[in-house]
């Protein structure tokens, strides 16, 4: 019988008999998970970038068990509890200076919905009710709910099908300057932002971005100078700056938050994925005093009308606190720096990989690395290839990436990068249909045509 489980982001086969067997996970330990039948796979993407401590971490497991024995859940409306209070304080402490207020929600998408509602209502309460649109970046991804779909990349994003349903927002070009760009190298990118703001600022409530690393948009990396410039533009045009740190938060870019690289405080910041170490779904939208205090007042318009059933769930808050304690006590930023050095050495400094005719670019930032290929078809069959070598790699479009758990050892990291490189060696004949120069020319032609 076919399974009643409907899996995400996957085309269904025309006939059920064609359905492939989906690997069945029965457990995990550290950076590995185990399949029924005895296979052990090294997870190169830590379950969509959230299992930063790996699987079955004893301290996180114990925290959930202890909390379940005390208080599994209680509503946060009109009540409070220690795990929510303590986690809110901890998040205020570790996030950039000035983000002093924490609104809990149950997922990253809903965190972004809350950020957008807060921004809009802030402008209503401060006398600018005409600011009802968002400004987002091309190649951005902010979640799968309707409000979020409307601010994901409208062309290359995955939600184009639903555009008739969605409100219209503004988009600026995706940043192109690399992480290590000089201040003058981000000027073009910032000019792109300024152009939209100059024309439409009167109706723009907030600028939304994944700071430094547009993750689902193909691990597009940019410079901290871009964040500084964006902050200045937002202040100039009375537009709120919202950082979606759902993917970048908790160390992925090499500092605790991407915002730390630029020493910028956004007006609103959204955290999820690594927040609970991946052990439970939860998220937090943080705001500065300026935003929060605009909601003080006596009219009905001052209430913030949002409240998911499971906001501030004690199990999630407790495991998030434990995750943060492990992160700090076990010096995770040093672990991330070590992983980053291995990724740079094994991928960026590999001349053979860079010269491979299928490879368009290789990038590393913190504990995130991507080999971008010219043609998505060049990655067909990669998942089975990696699985046969004991590694779980999920490439998407023309991006072969890894975002490992931070407890991944150097030897395990090399196992992952070796499999990534082996794919290109194994297919050097197949992929080399065209010379590199020819491919570059083709891509440029396509870009010009767009």
Ligand X SMILES: *Cc1c(COP(=O)(O)O)cnc(C)c1O
Q: Is 244 a catalytic residue?
A: yes
- Residue 405 C-beta: closest distance to ligand X, Å: 16
Complex with ligand X: residue 125 or 150, whichever CB lies closer: 150
Q: Is 273 a catalytic residue?
A: yes
| Sole binder of ligand X in the list 43, 113, 244, 350 (CB under 6 A) | 244
Task: Spot the catalytic one: 141, 279, 332, 374.
Answer: 141
Which residues are paired to 5 by β-bridges?
Answer: none
Hey, which residues between 270 and 309 contact ligand X (CB under 6 A)? 272-273
Q: Is 108 in the site for ligand X (CB under 6 A)?
A: yes
CB contact burial 202-238 (16+ within 10 A = b; e otherwise): ebbbbbbbbbbbbbbbbbbbbbbbbbbbbbebbeebe
- Residue 153 C-beta: closest distance to ligand X, Å: 12
Q: What is the CA radius of gyration of the chain?
A: 22
43: Cβ contacts below 8 Å, ≥ 6 apart? 28, 31, 32, 33, 51, 54, 55, 392, 404, 405
Complex with ligand X: residue 144 or 187, whichever CB lies closer: 144
Residue span binding ligand X (CB under 6 A) among the ranges 141-149, 294-302, 400-408, 425-433: 141-149
Residue span binding ligand X (CB under 6 A) among the ranges 239-247, 292-300, 357-365, 422-430: 239-247
DSSP 121-189: HHHHHTT-TT--EEEEETT----SSHHHHTTS-TTTSTTGGGGGGSPP-EEEPPP-S-TT--GGGGHHH
- Is 254 labelled as part of a ligand binding site? no
Beta strands 204-209 and 133-137 are parallel
Tokens read off for 73: 């859940």
Q: Is 143 in the site for ligand X (CB under 6 A)?
A: yes
| Sole binder of ligand X in the list 205, 207, 246, 291 (CB under 6 A) | 246
Contact 218, 371 (CB under 8 A): no
How far is residue 221's CA from residue 277's CA, in Å, rounded to a whole number?
Answer: 23
How far is residue 263's CA from residue 254's CA, in Å, rounded to a whole number?
Answer: 14
| Sole binder of ligand X in the list 47, 67, 95, 109 (CB under 6 A) | 109
- Is 157 labelled as part of a ligand binding site? no
Complex with ligand X: residue 76 or 212, whichever CB lies closer: 212
CA atoms within 13 A on the CB side of 271: 33
Burial class of residue 450 (count of CB atoms within 10 Å of its CB; 0-12, 13-18, 19+):
exposed
How far is residue 287's CA from residue 291's CA, in Å, rounded to a whole number?
Answer: 6
Phi/psi for 392 (5° steps) reads -95, 105
Question: With CB under 6 A, what is the number of residues at the site for ligand X?
Answer: 15
- Residue 229 C-beta: closest distance to ligand X, Å: 20
| Sole binder of ligand X in the list 123, 138, 139, 142 (CB under 6 A) | 142
The one-character DSSP state at 33 is: E
Q: Is 397 a catalytic residue?
A: no
Contact 435, 81 (CB under 8 A): no
Task: Spot the catalytic one: 273, 332, 378, 406.
Answer: 273
- Is 131 labelled as part of a ligand binding site? no
Q: Is 107 in the site for ligand X (CB under 6 A)?
A: yes
| Sole binder of ligand X in the list 32, 55, 104, 141 (CB under 6 A) | 141
Q: Is 210 in the site for ligand X (CB under 6 A)?
A: yes
Q: Is 311 in the site for ligand X (CB under 6 A)?
A: no
Q: Is 215 in the site for ligand X (CB under 6 A)?
A: yes
- Is 273 labelled as part of a ligand binding site? yes
Q: Is 32 a catalytic residue?
A: no
How far is residue 367's CA from residue 229's CA, in Å, rounded to a whole number?
Answer: 25
Complex with ligand X: residue 106 or 378, whichever CB lies closer: 106
Residue positions in the annotated binding site for pyridoxal 5'-phosphate?
Answer: 108-109, 244, 308-309
The residues assigned a catalytic role are 9, 141, 244, 273
> Contact residues for ligand X (CB under 6 A)?
107-109, 112, 141-143, 210, 215-216, 244, 246-247, 272-273
């Amino acid at each position: 019988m076919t399974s009643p489980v409907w899996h995400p982001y996957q085309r269904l086969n025309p006939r059920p008999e064609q359905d492939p067997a989906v690997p069945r996970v029965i457990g995990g330990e550290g950076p590995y998970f185990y399949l029924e039948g005895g296979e052990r796979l090294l997870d190169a993407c830590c379950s969509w970038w959230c299992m930063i401590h790996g699987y079955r971490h004893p301290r996180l497991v114990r925290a959930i068990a202890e909390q379940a024995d005390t208080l599994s859940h209680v509503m946060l409306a009109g009540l409070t509890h220690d795990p929510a209070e303590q986690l809110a304080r901890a998040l205020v402490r570790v996030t950039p200076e000035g983000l002093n207020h924490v609104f809990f929600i149950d997922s990253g998408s809903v965190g972004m919905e809350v950020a957008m509602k807060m921004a809009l209502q802030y402008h209503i309460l401060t006398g600018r009710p005409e600011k009802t649109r968002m400004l987002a970046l091309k190649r951005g991804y902010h979640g799968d709910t309707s409000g979020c779909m409307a601010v994901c990349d409208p062309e290359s994003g995955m939600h184009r099908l639903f555009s008739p349903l969605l409100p219209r927002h503004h988009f600026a070009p995706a940043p192109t300057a690399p992480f290590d760009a000089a201040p003058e190298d981000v000027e073009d990118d910032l000019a792109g932002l300024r152009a939209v703001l100059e024309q439409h600022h009167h109706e723009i409530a907030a600028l939304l971005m994944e700071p430094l690393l547009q993750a689902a948009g193909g691990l597009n990396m940019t410079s901290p100078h871009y964040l500084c410039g964006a902050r200045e533009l937002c202040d100039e045009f009375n537009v709120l700056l919202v950082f979606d740190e759902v993917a970048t938060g908790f160390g992925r870019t090499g500092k605790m938050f991407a915002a730390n690289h630029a020493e910028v405080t956004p007006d609103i910041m959204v955290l999820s994925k690594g927040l609970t170490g991946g052990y439970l779904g939860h998220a937090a939208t943080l705001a500065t005093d300026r935003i929060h205090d605009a909601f003080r007042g006596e009219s009905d318009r001052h209430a913030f009308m949002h409240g998911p059933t499971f906001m501030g769930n004690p199990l999630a808050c407790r495991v998030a606190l434990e995750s943060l304690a492990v992160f700090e006590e076990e010096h995770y930023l040093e672990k991330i720096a070590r992983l980053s050095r291995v990724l740079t050495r094994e991928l960026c400094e590999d001349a053979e990989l860079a010269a491979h005719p299928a490879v368009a670019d290789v990038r590393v930032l913190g504990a995130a690395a991507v080999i971008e290929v010219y043609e998505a078809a060049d990655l067909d069959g990669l998942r089975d290839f990696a699985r046969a070598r004991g590694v779980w790699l999920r490439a998407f479009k023309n991006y072969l990436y890894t975002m490992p758990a931070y407890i991944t050892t150097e030897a395990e990291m090399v196992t992952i990068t070796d499999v990534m490189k082996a794919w290109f060696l194994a297919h050097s004949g197949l992929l080399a249909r065209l010379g590199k120069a020819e491919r570059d020319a083709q891509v440029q032609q396509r870009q010009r045509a767009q």
